[in-house]
Every structure is written in C-alpha cells, then in structure tokens.
Amino acid sequence: MTHSSTPPALSKKELDDLTRDTPASGPKRSIAFLAGVATFGSLLFGYDTGVIAGALPYMYMPRSAGGLAINEFEEGLVGAFLALGAALGAIVGGRLSDRYGRRHNILLLAGIFILGTLGCTFAPNVAILYIFRFILGLAVGGASATVPVYLAESAPTRVRGSLVALDQFMIVFGQLLAYSMNAILSSAHGGPQVFVSEDPSGTLSGGQWYPWDQVQHVTTAVVTSGDGLAWRWMLVLATIPAVCLWLGMRLMPESGRWYASKDRYYEAIGALKRIRDPKRDNLREEIEQIAALQHDQHAQGQWSLRRTVSVKWTRRLLVIGVGLACFDQLTGINTAMYYLPKILAAAGFSAADSITLNVITGAVACVGAGFGLYLVSRLARRHVGIYQETGVTLSLFALAIVFGFGISPYVQSDGTISQSVPTYLPWLVVVLVSLFVFAKQSGTVNWVLVSEIFPSKIRGVAQGFAVGCGWLMNAVVTWVFPVMITHLGATWTYAVFGLINVVSLCFYIFIVPETRGVSLETFEKNFSEKYGR
C-alpha cells in the first residue's frame, strides 16, 4: 500500500460533528456488565484447565471400573492435547478476531466450548478424548487471545488495567469452581474406589471395596467394578457457563477500536457510546486519538505478522509478548493447576484427600487473584511482575528443598510414601504450594501487558501469536511434568523450574516496558519513537 492510497484524515470538525451526531448503536451497557459477560470465556478457560486435576485420578482406573486405564505418558498427553489446541486456537483466533471482530470471535468460541466439552464427557476411550481435548483447546486458546483484547479495547484508560486483571481473576475463579465441583463429586462418589473380586497374591481381601491408590500397585488384583464415572460429571458441568457466554455476548457491542481499524467510524462511535460514561470519559478526545493513529498506520501501509518481524520496534514488542507468554507457563503454575492431586499424593496424601485439598489451593489462588486486582490498579505493571517472579522462584526452591530433604527419605521402592513420614511434612507441601499459587496469581500481569503492548493494526494477530507460543510452552510443560515427577522426582523437578524463573525475573527487570497510565495509542507512539520505525 502506498502513501497515495491512504484515506484522507478526518478533520477535527468532522470528528467533532460525527461524535456529537452519532447515536449509540444499541442499549447502554455498563463496562462492568460487559466485562462480567466477556470473562465467562476466561472462567471457561480456568474451569476446563482446572477440572482435569480431579478427573485424572479417575482416568487411571481400569475400564471395568469406569476409568480409561491411562498411564503417566497418556496423562501428560491429556493436558498436552488441550494446550496444543489452545496454541492453534490462539493464533487462528487472533487472525479471525482481526478480520471479523472480537465479539464475533467470542460467540464462535462459545459454540466450540460446548462441542469440546460434550465430546470429552462422552469419550469412550483415551484416543477420542485426545481429539476433543484438542477441540476444547481451540476454544481455550481463542478465549485467552481474544477476551483480553476485547476488554482492553473496550475499557476506558482509567480502568483498563483492572478490567484486564479481572480476566485473570476469572480464570482462577474458574479453576476454583472446577476444584470445588471435583471435591463435591469425588466425596459423593466416595473418591476413586474399586471393587476387588479377588487377589491371588493375598495382599487384598476379595469381595471388598478399596481406594484405587491402594489397589493400583497390586498387579494381581482383579477389579470388576468401580465408581469411576465421576470424571464425566466433572467435565460436563462446563457447558453451563459456555451457554451463558453465548447468550450474554449477543447483548454486547463490538469493540469500537476494531470498527475504527476498519475505518468504520460511525459504528465505532456508536459502539463506544453504548459503554462510555459521558460524565467521566472524554469520548471526543478518545476518538481523535484513535483516528490520528489509524491515519498514521494507513500511511505506513498494510501490516502483517511478517512485517511486524521486519520492523525494529514491532519486532521487539513481539519478542517481549512471546517472552511474557512463555515465561508465564514456565512458572510451573499449570503443574499445580493440572496435577496438584499428583503432587500431594507424592507428599503422602491419599487420592481422595488430594482432590479435596485441591480446593484449598484453588481458594488461595482466587484470593491471590483478587489481591492482584488491587496491585495492578495501584502499582506499575513491571513492579507487579517482579514481585510475582520473586515469590514464585522462592516457593519453587523451597518445595525442592522440602521434597529433597524431608519427604524423599520416606519414599518406598514402589513409589509410595511410608506411613512413618512426619505428619507435618505433607502439610508443609500444601502450605508451600499455596504460597506458590498466591504469589503467581496475585502477581499475574502478563495478560494485561500482552493485551496492551501491540499496535492496533496487528493487535489480534500479534496477541494470538504470542499467546499461541505460550500455549505451545504449556503443552511441553504439561506433557513432561508427570514424566519428570515419576522419573526425576519432585526435588529435581522443582529445582529446574526454580532456575528457569530466575531467568524470568531478569526478563521483567531488564526488558519488559511499562504501560500503566497511558492510552494504547500513546504507548504505541512513544515506543515506536524510542526504538525506531
């Protein structure tokens, strides 16, 4: 695109007249209502990633007991396929949201959430489960890339950080909801248990019910039935918020900034008037900033991901965005979200108790995310990220020390924990994991930063690419963690993650830019001038 094809800039008078005369495009919606509806997508993101923690112990059970008879490699793939789907969903979803609109994309994602959830619920074997976990991942990834952008573009500058932080809170709340439902269903079904008809070795008495973690190490036990269908009930509950998301988004306006990126200013102003408070928000000034930036970007020509890489300042932003997304996964937070029952089992708790205790860490994470809303509204983005990485790093090294010097001496040859382990040690693991998730969730600012740093012309595509890279890293972490725990042990597993987070801390200190207190358009202008076009 050449400079001659650039549409003429609207004059100040034309913008004033258009802003004054354009009516709202529909019923007024408060920004809080818009955020509450849109973040149902984030709640689904949290629920569908968290629910697997309670479902996996049941999936280990034999088919005769209602499980899928998976092993540790298949367990990792159950999570990894969702993450791979999320990577593709984030990249493709970013492109679709740039082409067709943020609201349009969220409505599409709600339908995919429903399809993926039902497919996982009724999967007859692990191969079919993989397929629908991948489909569900498309929705999770698309939501993780689109919802923060929709919120950032819709929110006035004064509350933008808090609203995008609300997105993170809803993810964590979705995980807490999943853990709570897991615990309720597990308790109602008596935990993962099976009926042993006989055991030729004589280790177990025939004709009795046993917790599954007592039976799985007895290879001669004959299991004829069990209560392993609880995991299907855990999964299917996600259809309820998916339906709420679809219905709610039909009442919301499209992103005004997306309309403006297509030079549809009449629709942009109409959409913004639906969600702006005329007493607190200067809509005319906001429209002038958006229009000026759009004219400047038209003069620069058509943007693409390839061009983003070729331009110095946008390439730097893309590297920062990818780094933020990948380091977020390398905190190891999803090892706690997906596999906490496995971690607690490694510390000496039973499978049933581990599922119930998952609620405690989920509640701590939710409180942490709520505290994070306060931090993001009060502190610089970088400072919140530095606080997060410091807390995460210290917690991971503390976990490595407790497992290495406290629990490892009590691990028996079959991998179980001796009954002589001091009772305070497993509870110390619960405390440290709780401190870990609190530090992570109260300091999670990467979603805010990634939603704010990219130029408007490529915001959807660049955000999708960065988040997609993060989900690829999530897939790697999710797949290798059960294998690392099984073959390296918890000590070295957490030591490795601790070292990685030292690097992440340096990334926040020396590379990540600050975005607090400036409009999206002002940040873009300042950053491009500082690092060159």
Which pLDDT tens digit goes with each residue over 372-405? 888 888 888 899 999 999 999 999 999 899 888 8
Same domain, 315 and 350: yes
Give 127-182 pLDDT, tens digit per residue: 999 999 999 999 998 988 888 889 888 888 778 777 777 887 888 899 889 989 98
Q: Please, are residues 252 and 266 in contact by the beta-carbon 8 Å criterion?
A: no
Among 177, 145, 195, 192, which residue's Cα sits nearest to residue 38?
A: 145
Q: What is the pLDDT of residue 338?
A: 66
Same domain, 145 and 219: no
Q: What is the pLDDT of residue 90?
A: 83
For residue 342, how many C-alpha atoms fall within 13 Å in the half-sphere facing its CB? 27
Average pLDDT for residues 273-295, to the nearest whole number? 82
Rounded distance between C-alpha atoms, residue 217 and residue 215, angstroms: 6
Q: Is residue 289 part of a domain?
A: no
User: What are the Cα distances from residue 401, in Å, to 139, 186, 406, 426, 484?
Assistant: 38, 31, 7, 13, 16
Q: Is residue 238 part of a domain?
A: yes
Reported confidence tier of residue 7, pLDDT bands at 50, 70, 90: low
Whether the per-residue pLDDT at 62 is higher than 50: the answer is yes
Same domain, 217 and 170: no
Average predicted confidence (pLDDT) for the chain: 85
Same domain, 358 and 476: yes
Same domain, 184 and 131: yes
Reported confidence tier of residue 3, pLDDT bands at 50, 70, 90: very low
159 three-state secondary structure: helix
Give 27-44 pLDDT, tens digit per residue: 999 988 999 999 999 899
Whether the per-residue pLDDT at 465 is higher than 70: the answer is yes
Among 122, 114, 117, 149, which residue's Cα sits nearest to residue 133?
A: 117
Domain hosting 204: range is 193-226
Reported confidence tier of residue 415, pLDDT bands at 50, 70, 90: low
Q: Is residue 293 part of a domain?
A: no
Q: Please, are residues 473 and 322 in contact by the beta-carbon 8 Å criterion?
A: no
Rounded distance between C-alpha atoms, residue 233 and residue 217, angstroms: 27
**pLDDT > 70: what percent of the chain?**
94
Q: Which residues contact 486 (CB under 8 A, 6 or more apart)?
A: 72, 415
Whether the per-residue pLDDT at 18 is higher than 90: the answer is no
Give the lowest-confidence range in 202-211, 417-426, 447-456. 417-426
Please count the residues of the chain: 533
How many domains are there within the chain?
Answer: 2
Same domain, 60 and 159: yes
Q: What is the pLDDT of residue 372?
A: 85
Q: Is residue 160 part of a domain?
A: yes
Q: Is residue 411 part of a domain?
A: yes
Same domain, 186 and 219: no
Distance spanning both ends of the chain, measured CA to CA: 17
Same domain, 122 and 174: yes
Tokens encoding 14: 């034309």
Same domain, 204 and 136: no
Q: What is the pLDDT of residue 304?
A: 65
In 47-112, beta strands by DSSP E: none
Among 101, 370, 86, 68, which residue's Cα sits nearest to residue 254?
A: 101
Same domain, 244 and 154: yes
Same domain, 356 and 500: yes
Tokens encoding 271: 């959409």
Q: Which residues contact 241 (CB under 8 A, 6 or more apart)?
A: 40, 43, 44, 47, 174
Q: What is the pLDDT of residue 533?
A: 62
Q: What is the pLDDT of residue 8?
A: 59
Q: What is the pLDDT of residue 234?
A: 93
Whether the per-residue pLDDT at 110 is higher than 80: the answer is yes
Same domain, 68 and 82: yes
CATH of the domain at 56: 1.20.1250.20
DSSP state of 457: G
Q: Which residues contact 462 (CB under 8 A, 6 or more apart)?
A: 94, 305, 308, 314, 317, 318, 321, 454, 455
Tokens encoding 40: 């149902």
Other C-beta atoms within 10 Å of 189: how many?
19
Q: What is the pLDDT of residue 2?
A: 40
Give the lowest-confidence range in 206-220, 233-247, 248-262. 206-220
Q: Is residue 14 part of a domain?
A: no
Give 313-331 pLDDT, tens digit per residue: 888 999 999 999 999 888 8
Q: Is residue 6 part of a domain?
A: no
Q: What is the pLDDT of residue 305?
A: 67
Burial group, residue 428, by CB count within 10 angstroms (0-12, 13-18, 19+): middle
Query: In sequence order, what are the beta bridge partners of 195?
Result: 209, 225
Q: Is residue 266 part of a domain?
A: no
Q: What is the pLDDT of residue 4?
A: 44
